[in-house]
């Protein structure tokens, strides 16, 4: 059955059955995470050790080892899951792998102390179904991530891979497939939330001999790594969905535009494409249905704006990644002037599942006009950073505290940033708002692509706004005035404020500029660039005022606004700080508490580094 | 037809128009900055934004198409405020040197400030002084660039040269040659099309006014001036006259008022060019048709922008070029030789100024090939625009001037010379003469015009059959001469690829570096704000000049004939060769000749 | 005399050999419209960086204006026009990493390497750049050296992270 060429739906079914039968002979299946996060914490060593341990224990016929994409709880990588019971082991090392092999796989015993420890409950939770991070999730786009050997087309087929394509080609046809997506209520997960089925219909109805479908895998939002997880953990789903989309709109050529920062994703996708091609699932006369389709990878070169669809098209054409004015929209005139449909990775990953399980099934998740699930990347000051997929409509509180386990080190939650540089910063007051397209934009944030960055009390939101402005300023393509110069001037104002030179008028100026930049910029980047500023001005006005009026940074982040002082209770009077202070601002009698003359202090922080007793506070 | 509402008033507009055009139909002017209708629209300045009901954001009216039922406000408070802030952003990195800027009072950015009623610049000046790049023809001051990219369109899309483009990204974006090379270090044709579209002082012709004033006030120099044909069809625009106003007589008077000692006409040399180039063509045809072999098609050589381009882009094809210098160079050479001798003076006593529609000629005059006896044939080239500035600064009331004629002996011309100013004109002038020389009969066409090669199409062609030729031109009997005309360098490339591939069906090709020829030269009054048909108007003026002349064939110019008799001998003869012909230089695509 | 050049991360060979290889690579894409970025990626991996001479070859082979090639090179941050170090350090300053203390990593590295972000060390070992998210946000702050990702980096770990790279390996 290996390297089979699949010429028809029945070939596909035969392959699936064969592989499933094979798999059912094992007692245990161990899913070892091979996601990028775990790779960086050397999961390869763990997998190697486990394999060696299994072999040396003579368990090769009992234990099936599968290296998968991201399991989700990257914070505890390298990690793995042992089936049939769904036991999760995290923070693995080769040694731990040996003991799991010995005790669990050979001895049939749970290795308690290597299981997930829930700090709130103060107990080990071995089973995924009990762990808050996993239990609330519904995996549709990520259905195969963490469950499938991404490098094996056979294993993918055994998990129903390419059956949706077969169904579309031989049964559903174009119109009904598009309608199915409309009925499912699938909306673009790349940020704009446009209904995917409607987009495909427009592509289908657009006249033209040559059309294209593009998968947008640029994922430039800092803090977002959902698309990466899908590409690395389940590349075949993206390929399958592109083929389906190509068939629906009438394109025989697809592109995947991957950012250059994702070499692993490029490798895995490349291999998947080769395998699919070799199996006849790409190329001519796919599944005997007379449909020709192939896919090329295009690698970006480091420009955030290339995630914007028209800039992406220019980039594929080998040009500077400057956006084009819309309309015309890509479905009218896109790549090389031909009708082109562009979809995000996650959007596409949903498609085969919807085709196989039906629109109603998908639509049964979610709220209002936001149907189905959404994948989020949890990052920042959160305990369980990683990837989750949840039905839309869940509250931020459930996500951040239920699944995310709250803030690290027990610190207080201050804000959560959703939607990356285009999004907004929300506060404690928004924790009980439902996470869906409409609710988030009503608050001035956006769903965006799904990056959620939690920030604790030690974060300065003015500084955060400056950070985002610096980002968009760096990444602006420079085409239009409001974004090119407007973000520059906004950044200057924010720098002025964070460096203690701000005045209350600057806040008005900032607000005014932000509004105009958003209203006049040519593309989404500039139109949304002011969002972090506007939301922080709206929800953290006090913090801004503290900077410009009191000249203080309440979170002690903005260096120039720090006031260095010596805590007399901690100070031992060793004078180490005074010796190093470049400004001669520290005085005191030996073995007596020292003090800092704030007028002289240049806020260099040297004293704080020099003090062995943590007596310098700021 | 679309029906929409603009500022509360109903408007009907044809399908496909932009909101800006739509507003114009409704009599509403929306301020713009980056767009140049008919040439360039990229929606980059956003000054033209308007409010469209139901849209969250303001829309750039120059690029957004009108749709049925749209309700548009072009002058709401929101729009006005946005425009002011956008303008503020544009000038926040602009030097604001209006009083000492060459574009003062002719600057679209400056004018826009007035239109928008700007009275404060809230954002402190953050102009970054990028180094100025002065090439022989074009001066770039990137700090005055507002990144509208009209020049990029002109250079890349219209001319197909691509000497300049957008570099870097975001706030660091600049418009320049690759890797900050100077213009002289790349394949720039010096055509100046970029300078004709630039709304600000960021790209202008390299100033020669200073050296002209200096010469005029130098008692030891005799300063001769000559004027290209296209100037007379456009100079009036610099004084508020309508495009296409013919100002030949006033032009001659103005030059005299400015103090030039000799007021000559490049037209004279255009007639001379026809004699030389015509003879060269006949020689080549003879050699080719009698089996001796000759390089055909022959290409005209009177456009220095075109010459510089072919030297870069098709260095292997230089043999196809006629060896004739461009007309003003011929005239310069004659002034400093024949004319000087006549006056008992020497070349060094003369300072020759050419008034040209052209920037490339500023480059041309400093080519080493363009000298005789160690003296450049021409010492300064001022563009039509520069002449306008000189006349104004001299306090001359141009509109009120009496008409006068050019000076003899280098000031008389036939109608054939006038049409050098428009695409197809050199070809027509050449054929008027060649045909008549070969057959003894006038060009068999309507009023001496060769209609297939008239008009402003980018590439034109014609065929002319020679029958009953004179015995000495027997080699032409029954031959159908095939000719082509292209203007604009991108269009020239189309014909040149055929030549390169050995697949060119033509005997003779006229090429003008600028689209539509010199009437639309890089040194002509700028097109912004001109009526859409300004080129047609200028063309008509050129043909009207031609038709108003008693003599309309170069070989009938009595002064030219006399010159041959007294001085040059015969066309293509020894003296001609020394003074009127030139050689070319293989430069290579990246101007490898210049070490940078 | 034959000079052996290795413009770092590029291939090894004489200047002529490398340029010849560049030309070969580029000429393979002569009539493939839209290949410029892919060609630049390949050529940069051969030559190490993209100086004017290399850009000229690419322009010539692809039939594009040099200013267009340079415009693309200067638009994308992955293309370099100056020689690079043998290894590229990219410290993430994406949101997650910023929030988790990426700044201190950058500051420590600047101190240790004695260069500002964007520079190359005098010994030519490292080019040090800032990245805008490398997709390891869950393990912030993160950095990469070439293709190796280092998760949850602490300033104190830096010397031991850098160490192996000085002698070529990981
Ligand atoms: C500045 C900017 C960056 C973007 N980056 C991405 C991205 O990285 N990935 C993505 O899928 N969409 C991105 N988008 C959205 C795309 O333009 C486009 O809407 C999306 O790819 C469409 O796919 P969807 O309908 O499946 O969401 C970005 C948009 C903007 C304005
Ligand atoms: S908004 Fe920014 S990124 Fe978008 S076109 Fe304008 S300058 Fe470029
Ligand atoms: S911060 Fe610097 S200047 Fe201020 S007291 Fe400490 S060492 Fe001195
Ligand atoms: S170093 Fe610390 S303990 Fe010593 S004098 Fe300074 S503040 Fe006090
Ligand atoms: S370019 Fe225009 S706005 Fe700028 S200094 Fe010159 S005249 Fe003034
Ligand atoms: S316009 Fe204003 S700034 Fe300029 S010269 Fe007149 S008064 Fe002075
Ligand atoms: S002078 Fe002509 S060729 Fe040179 S940059 Fe300007 S438009 Fe391009
Ligand atoms: S140089 Fe002039 S035409 Fe070119 S982009 Fe700048 S302002 Fe516009
Ligand atoms: S067409 Fe005329 S204006 Fe243009 S470069 Fe040639 S001679 Fe000069
Ligand atoms: S990469 Fe292993 S859990 Fe995410
Ligand atoms: S004139 Fe419309 S955007 Fe500049
Ligand atoms: S923000 Fe640093 S890896 Fe994503």
Angstrom distance (rounded) from CA A55 to CA B365 = 86
Give the helix/strand (H/E) hosting B574.
helix B574-580
- Placement of tokens 């000049």 in the chain: B545
Q: How far is CA A530 from CA A256, A492, B51, B152, C66, in A?
A: 29, 14, 20, 30, 36
Percentage of chain A exceeding pLDDT 90: 90
Nearest CA-CA partner of B15 in B27, B1, B5, B28: B1
Output the CA B571–ligand 11 centroid distance in Å. 53
Residue B155 in contact with residue B140, Cβ under 8 Å? Answer: no
Q: Of B99, B120, B123, B98, give the one whose Cα is nearest residue B108.
A: B98
B361 touches chain A (CB under 8 A): no
Point out which residues pair with B134 in neighbouring strands. B139
Please tell me the predicted confidence (pLDDT) of residue B334.
97
- Ligand 10 pocket check for A73: Cβ under 6 Å: yes
Strands C148-150 and C143-145: antiparallel
Tokens of C61: 């082979």
Q: Which residues of C touch A (CB under 8 A)?
A: 33-38, 40-41, 71-72, 75-79, 92-100, 131-140, 142, 147-151
For residue B423, the 8-state DSSP code is: T
Whole-number Å distance between alpha carbons of B417 and B554: 7
Give me the DSSP letters along A17-30: HHHHHHHTT-SEEE
> Is A221 a domain residue?
yes
Does the Cβ of A233 fall within 6 Å of ligand 10?
A: no
Two tokens, residue C81: 């026009």
- Sorted by sequence, the CB contacts under 8 Å of residue B127 that are 6+ apart come out as B93, B94, B95, B96, B143
Closest Cβ opposite residue B167 in set C64, C65, C70:
C70
**CA distance to partner chain C, nearest, from residue B468 (Å):** 47
Q: Distance between CA atoms of B546 and C150, rounded to whole angstroms?
A: 78
**3-state SS, residue B487:** strand
Domain B275-325+414-519+546-580 belongs in CATH node 3.40.950.10: yes
Does A348 touch chain C if contact means CB atoms closer than 8 Å?
Answer: no
3-state secondary structure of A434: strand
DSSP state of C76: S
Last residue of a domain, one of A522, A548, A574: A548
What are the per-10-residue average pLDDT scores of chain C (170 residues)?
Answer: 53 88 95 93 94 96 96 96 92 92 92 92 93 88 92 92 78
Joined tokens for residue B275: 């004699």
User: Along the 596 residues of chain B, how does pLDDT read in single tens digits?
Assistant: 899 999 999 999 999 999 999 999 999 999 999 999 999 999 999 999 999 999 999 999 999 999 999 999 999 999 999 999 999 999 999 998 999 999 999 999 999 999 999 988 888 777 676 799 999 999 999 999 999 999 999 999 999 999 999 999 999 999 999 999 999 999 999 999 999 999 999 999 999 999 999 999 999 999 999 999 999 999 999 999 999 999 999 999 999 999 999 999 999 999 999 999 999 999 999 999 999 999 999 999 999 999 999 999 999 999 999 999 999 999 999 999 999 999 999 999 999 999 999 999 999 999 999 999 999 999 999 999 999 999 999 999 999 999 999 999 999 999 999 999 999 999 999 999 999 999 999 999 888 999 999 999 999 999 999 999 999 999 999 999 999 999 999 999 999 999 999 999 999 999 999 999 999 999 999 999 899 999 999 999 999 999 999 999 999 999 999 999 999 999 999 999 999 999 999 999 888 776 54
Contact A342, A216 (CB under 8 A): yes
Same domain as A409, residue A388 = yes
Q: Does residue A492 form part of some domain?
A: yes
> Is residue A202 located within the same domain as residue A315?
yes
Architecture per CATH, B2-100: Roll (3.10)
Q: What's the A516 CA to ligand 5 centre distance in angstroms?
A: 25
pTM value?
A: 0.94
Mean pLDDT, range A86-96, rounded to an integer: 96
So what's the pLDDT on residue B192? Answer: 98
Interface of C with B in 36-95 (CB under 8 A): 52, 55-56, 59-60, 64-71, 74-75, 81
DSSP string computed for A545-598: HHHHTS---TTS-SGGG---EE-TTT-----HHHHH-TT--EE--TTS--EE-T
Mean of all residue pLDDT scores within chain A? 94
Angle at B481 between CA B475 and CA B484, to 5 degrees: 150
Would you call B165 and C52 a contact, using CB atoms and an 8 Å cutoff? no
**Domain residue limits at A58:** 9-135
CA distance C71 to chain B (A): 4
| A524 and A408 inside one domain | no
Q: Would you name the residues of B annotated as active-site residues?
A: 277, 280, 302, 322, 361, 364, 369, 518
Question: What is the separation of C-alpha B322 from the centre of its chain, rounded to a whole number of angstroms?
Answer: 20
Nearest-angstrom CA–CA distance, C72 and C74: 5
Q: Is C11 annotated as a binding residue?
A: no
Strand pairing category for A283-286 and A291-299: antiparallel
User: For ligand 9, which residues put their CB under 6 angstroms from it?
Assistant: B 191, 303-306, 357-358, 360, 512-514, 517-518, 521-522
Tell me if A143 is assigned to some domain. Answer: no
Overall number of domains in chain A: 5
Neighbours of chain B (3+ CB pairs under 8 A): A, C
Kindly give the interhelix angle for A226-233 and A235-249, rounded to the nearest 10 degrees: 100
User: Is the CB of residue B50 less than 8 Å from the CB of residue B59?
Assistant: yes
What is the CATH topology of the domain spanning B129-205? Alpha-Beta Plaits (3.30.70)
- Span A525-536, mean pLDDT? 96
Total Cβ atoms within 10 A of residue B255: 25
**Residue A611: exposure state from Cβ atoms within 10 A (0-12, 13-18, ≥19):** buried
| Torsion angle of C-alpha atoms B150, B155, B157, B161, degrees rounded to 10 | -170
DSSP H or E stretch at residue A377: strand A373-380
Whether the CB-CB separation of B360 and B191 falls below 8 Å is answered with yes
Closest-CA residue of B relative to A520 is B58
User: Averaged over A385-391, what is the pLDDT?
Assistant: 95
Quote the tokens at residue B4.
Answer: 């929409």
Residue A588 Rama label (left phi>0; alpha psi -120 to 50; beta): left
- Residue A617 CA to ligand 3 center (angstroms) comes to 11
Q: Which residues of B3-14 are buried (b: 16+ CB within 10 A; e: fewer)?
A: ebebbeeebebe
- Which residues lie closer than 8 Å to C131 by C-beta, 6 or more apart? A261, C90, C91, C92, C93, C94, C143, C144
Q: Class assignment of domain B209-268+328-400?
A: alpha beta
Residues A295 and A391 in one domain: no
Two structure tokens written together for A320: 């500077």
Q: What DSSP element (H or E) covers A359?
A: helix A359-363
Rounded Cα distance between B224 and B228, Å, is 14
A86 pLDDT higher than 90: yes
Q: Dihedral of the CA atoms B17, B23, B25, B29 (nearest 10)?
A: -130
Q: Are strands B165-167 and B174-176 parallel, antiparallel or unpaired?
A: antiparallel
User: Nearest chain A Cα to B127, which residue?
Assistant: A485
Residues A239 and A122 in one domain: no
Q: Which of B86, B126, B146 sits opposite A520 (nearest CB)?
A: B86
CB A181 within 8 A of CB A197: yes
Helix axes A531-539, A541-548, angle to 10 degrees: 90
Q: Do B171 and A488 touch (CB under 8 A)?
A: yes
Is B156 part of the contact surface with chain C (CB cutoff 8 Å)?
Answer: yes
Q: Are A50 and A103 found together in one domain?
A: yes
**Is B333 near ligand 11, meaning CB less than 6 Å away?**
no
Residue B227 pLDDT? 98
Give the C-alpha separation, B269 to B272, whole Å.
Answer: 5
- pLDDT score recorded for residue A609: 85
CB neighbourhood size of A118 (10 A): 15
Reference B360, options B420, B309, B427; nearest CA is B309
Long-range CB contacts (< 8 A, 24+ apart) of A324-329? A325/A522, A325/B42, A325/B43, A325/B60, A325/B63, A325/B64, A326/A523, A327/B64, A327/B65, A329/A202
Residues with CB under 6 A from ligand 12: A 222-223; C 92, 94-97, 133-137, 140, 142
CA of B313 to the centre of ligand 12 (A): 47
What are the structure tokens assigned to A594, written together? Answer: 């020292």
pLDDT of C170: 46
C69 → chain A, closest CA residue: A319
Quick one: pLDDT at residue C135? Answer: 84
Beta strand pairing status for A373-380 and B2-6?
A: unpaired
| Within-domain flag for A359 | no
- What is the length of chain B? 596
Cα–Cα distance for residue pair A594/C118, rounded to 1 Å: 40
For residue A150, being part of any structural domain is answered with: no
Cβ A251 vs Cβ A211: under 8 Å:
yes
By Cβ distance, the residue of B86, B93, B170 closest to A477 is B170
Q: Quick: pLDDT tens for B373-385.
A: 999 999 999 999 9
What's the confidence (pLDDT) of residue B125? 72
Distance CA A104, CA A111 (A): 6
Mean pLDDT across the stretch A144-163?
96
> Does residue A555 lie within any of the structural domains?
no
Set of chain A residues whose Cβ sits within 8 Å of the Cβ of B172: 478
Enumerate the domain spans of chain C: 4-75, 87-166
Instruction: Say if A37 falls within a structural domain.
Output: yes
DSSP bridge partners of A451: A377
**Cα A377 to Cα A399: distance, rounded to the nearest angstrom:** 11
SS3 B324: strand
- Residue B204's DSSP bridge partners are B139
Of the candidates A129, A149, A117, the one whose C-alpha atom is nearest the C-alpha of residue A85 is A129
For residue A591, report the distance from its CA to the centre of ligand 3, in Å.
19
Best of A197, A224, A307, A528 to mutate for ligand 1, by most ligand atoms within 8 A of CB? A307
Test site for ligand 5: of B45, B97, B113, B528, most ligand atoms within 8 A of the Cβ: B97
**Arch. (CATH architecture) of C87-166:** 3-Layer(aba) Sandwich (3.40)
Residues 6+ apart with CB under 8 A from B76: B51
């Amino acid at each position: 059955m290996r390297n089979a060429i699949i010429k028809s739906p029945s070939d596909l079914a035969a392959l699936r059955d064969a592989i499933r039968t094979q798999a059912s002979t094992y007692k245990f299946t161990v899913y070892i995470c091979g996601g990028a996060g775990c790779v960086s914490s050397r999961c390869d060593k763990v997998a190697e050790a486990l394999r060696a341990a299994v072999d040396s224990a003579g368990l090769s016929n009992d234990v099936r080892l599968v290296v998968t994409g991201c399991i989700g709880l990257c914070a505890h990588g390298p990690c793995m899951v042992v089936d049939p019971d769904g036991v999760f082991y995290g923070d693995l090392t080769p040694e731990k792998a040996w003991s799991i092999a010995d005790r669990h796989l050979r001895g049939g015993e749970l290795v308690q102390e290597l299981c997930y420890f829930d700090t709130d409950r103060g107990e080990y939770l071995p089973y995924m179904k009990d762990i808050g991070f996993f239990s609330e999730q519904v995996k549709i786009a990520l259905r195969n991530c963490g469950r499938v050997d991404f490098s094996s087309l056979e294993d993918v087929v055994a998990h129903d891979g390419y059956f949706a394509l077969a169904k579309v080609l031989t049964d559903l046809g174009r119109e009904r497939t598009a309608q199915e997506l409309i009925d499912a209520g699938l909306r673009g997960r790349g940020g704009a939330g446009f209904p995917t089925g409607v987009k495909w219909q427009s592509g289908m109805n657009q006249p033209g001999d040559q059309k294209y479908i593009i998968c947008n895998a640029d994922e430039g939002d800092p803090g977002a790594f959902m698309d990466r997880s899908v590409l690395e953990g389940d590349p075949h789903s993206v390929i399958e969905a592109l083929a389906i989309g190509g068939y629906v709109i009438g394109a025989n050529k697809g592109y995947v535009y991957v950012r250059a920062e994702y070499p692993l994703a490029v490798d895995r996708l490349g291999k998947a494409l080769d395998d699919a091609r070799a199996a006849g699932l790409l190329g001519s006369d796919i599944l005997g249905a007379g449909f020709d389709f192939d896919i090329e990878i295009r690698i970006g070169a480091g420009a955030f704006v290339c995630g914007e669809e028209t800039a992406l098209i220019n980039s594929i054409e080998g040009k500077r990644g400057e956006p084009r004015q819309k309309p015309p929209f890509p479905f009218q005139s896109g790549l090389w002037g031909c009708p082109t449909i562009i979809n995000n990775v996650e959007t596409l990953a949903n498609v085969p599942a919807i085709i196989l399980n039906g629109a109603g099934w998908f639509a049964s998740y979610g709220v209002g006009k936001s149907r189905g699930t959404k994948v989020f990347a949890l990052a920042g000051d959160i305990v369980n950073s990683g990837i989750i997929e949840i039905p839309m409509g869940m509250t931020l509180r459930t996500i951040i505290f239920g699944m995310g386990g709250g803030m690290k080190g027990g610190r207080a939650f201050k804000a959560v940033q959703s939607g990356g540089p285009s999004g907004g910063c929300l506060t404690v007051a928004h924790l009980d708002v439902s996470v869906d397209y409409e609710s988030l934009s009503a608050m001035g944030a956006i769903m965006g692509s799904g990056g959620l960055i939690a920030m604790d009390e030690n974060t300065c939101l003015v500084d955060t706004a400056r950070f985002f402005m610096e980002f968009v300023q760096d990444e602006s393509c420079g085409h239009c005035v409001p974004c090119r110069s407007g973000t520059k001037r906004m950044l200057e104002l924010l720098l002025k404020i964070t460096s203690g030179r701000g005045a209350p008028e600057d806040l008005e100026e900032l607000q005014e500029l932000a509004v105009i930049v958003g209203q006049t910029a040519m593309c989404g980047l500039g139109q949304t660039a002011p969002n972090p500023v506007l939301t922080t001005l709206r929800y953290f006005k006090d913090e801004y005022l503290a900077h410009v009026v009191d000249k203080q940074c309440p979170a002690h982040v903005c260096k120039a606004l720090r006031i260095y002082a010596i805590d007399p209770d901690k100070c031992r009077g060793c004078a180490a700080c005074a010796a190093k202070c470049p400004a001669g601002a520290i005085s005191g009698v030996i073995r007596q508490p020292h003090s800092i003359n704030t007028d002289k202090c240049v806020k260099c922080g040297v004293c704080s580094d020099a003090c062995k007793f943590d007596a310098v506070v700021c | 037809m679309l029906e929409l509402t603009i500022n509360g008033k109903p408007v009907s507009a044809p399908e496909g128009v932009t909101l800006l055009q739509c507003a114009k139909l409704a009599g509403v002017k929306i301020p713009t900055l980056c767009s140049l209708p008919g040439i360039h629209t990229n929606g980059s300045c956003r000054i033209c934004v308007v409010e469209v009901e139901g849209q969250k954001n303001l829309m750039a009216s120059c690029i957004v198409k009108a749709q049925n039922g749209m309700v548009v406000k072009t002058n709401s408070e929101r729009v006005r405020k946005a425009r002011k802030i956008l303008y503020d952003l544009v000038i926040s990195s602009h030097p604001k040197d209006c009083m000492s800027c060459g574009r003062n009072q002719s600057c679209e950015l400056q004018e826009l400030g007035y239109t928008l009623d700007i009275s404060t610049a809230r954002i402190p000046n953050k102009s970054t002084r990028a180094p100025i790049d002065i090439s022989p023809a074009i001066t770039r001051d990137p700090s005055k660039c507002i990144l509208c990219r009209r020049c990029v369109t002109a250079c890349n899309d219209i001319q197909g040269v691509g000497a300049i483009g957008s570099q870097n990204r975001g706030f660091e974006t600049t418009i320049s040659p690759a890797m900050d090379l100077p213009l002289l270090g790349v394949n720039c044709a010096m055509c100046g099309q970029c300078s004709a579209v630039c709304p600000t002082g960021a790209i202008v012709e390299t100033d020669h006014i200073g050296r002209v004033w200096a010469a005029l006030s130098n008692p030891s120099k005799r300063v001769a001036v000559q004027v290209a044909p296209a100037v007379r069809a456009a100079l009036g625009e610099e004084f508020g006259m309508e495009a296409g106003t013919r100002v030949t007589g006033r032009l001659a008077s103005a030059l005299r008022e400015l103090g030039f000692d000799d007021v000559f006409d490049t037209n004279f040399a255009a007639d001379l060019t026809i004699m030389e180039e015509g003879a060269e063509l006949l020689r080549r045809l003879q050699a080719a048709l009698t089996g001796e072999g000759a390089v055909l098609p022959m290409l005209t050589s009177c456009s220095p922008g075109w010459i510089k381009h072919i030297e870069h882009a098709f260095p292997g094809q230089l043999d196809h070029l006629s060896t004739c210098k461009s007309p003003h160079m011929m005239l310069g050479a004659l002034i400093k030789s024949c004319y000087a001798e006549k006056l008992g003076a020497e070349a060094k006593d003369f300072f020759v100024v050419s008034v040209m529609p052209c920037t490339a000629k500023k480059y041309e005059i400093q080519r080493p090939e363009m000298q005789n006896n160690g003296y450049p044939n021409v010492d300064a080239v001022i563009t039509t625009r520069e002449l306008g500035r000189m006349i104004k600064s001299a306090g001359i009331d141009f509109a009120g001037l009496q008409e006068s004629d050019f000076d003899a002996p280098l000031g008389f011309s036939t109608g054939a010379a006038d049409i050098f100013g428009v695409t197809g004109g050199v070809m027509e002038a050449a054929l008027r003469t060649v045909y008549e020389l070969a057959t003894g009969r006038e060009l068999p066409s309507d009023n001496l015009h060769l209609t297939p090669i008239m008009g402003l199409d980018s590439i034109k062609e014609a065929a002319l059959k020679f029958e009953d030729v004179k015995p000495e031109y027997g080699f032409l009997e029954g031959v159908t001469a095939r000719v082509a005309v292209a203007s604009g360098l991108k269009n020239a490339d189309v014909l040149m690829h055929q030549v390169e591939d050995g697949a060119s069906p033509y005997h003779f090709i006229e090429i003008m570096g600028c689209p539509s020829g010199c009437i639309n030269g890089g040194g002509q009054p700028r097109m912004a704000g001109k009526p859409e048909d300004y080129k047609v108007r200028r063309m008509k003026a050129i043909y009207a000049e031609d038709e108003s002349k008693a003599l309309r064939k170069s070989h009938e110019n009595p002064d030219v004939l006399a010159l041959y008799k007294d001085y040059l001998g015969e066309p293509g003869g020894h003296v001609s060769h020394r003074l009127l012909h030139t050689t070319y230089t293989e430069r290579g695509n990246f101007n490898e000749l210049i070490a940078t | 005399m034959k000079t052996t050049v290795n413009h770092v991360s590029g291939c090894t060979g004489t200047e002529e050999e490398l340029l010849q290889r560049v030309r070969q690579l580029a000429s393979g894409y002569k009539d493939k419209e839209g290949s410029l970025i892919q060609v630049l990626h390949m050529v940069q991996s051969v030559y190490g960086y993209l100086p004017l001479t290399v850009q000229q070859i690419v322009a010539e082979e692809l039939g594009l204006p040099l200013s267009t090639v340079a415009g693309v090179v200067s638009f994308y941050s992955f293309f370099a026009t100056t020689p690079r170090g043998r290894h590229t350090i990219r410290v993430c300053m994406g949101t997650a990493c910023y929030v988790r203390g990426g700044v201190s990593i950058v500051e420590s590295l600047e101190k240790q390497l004695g260069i500002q972000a964007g520079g190359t060390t005098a010994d030519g070992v490292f080019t040090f750049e800032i990245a805008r998210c490398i997709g390891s946000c869950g393990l912030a702050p993160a950095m990469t050296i070439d293709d190796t990702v280092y998760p949850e980096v602490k300033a104190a770990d830096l010397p031991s992270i850098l160490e192996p790279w000085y002698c070529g390996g990981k």
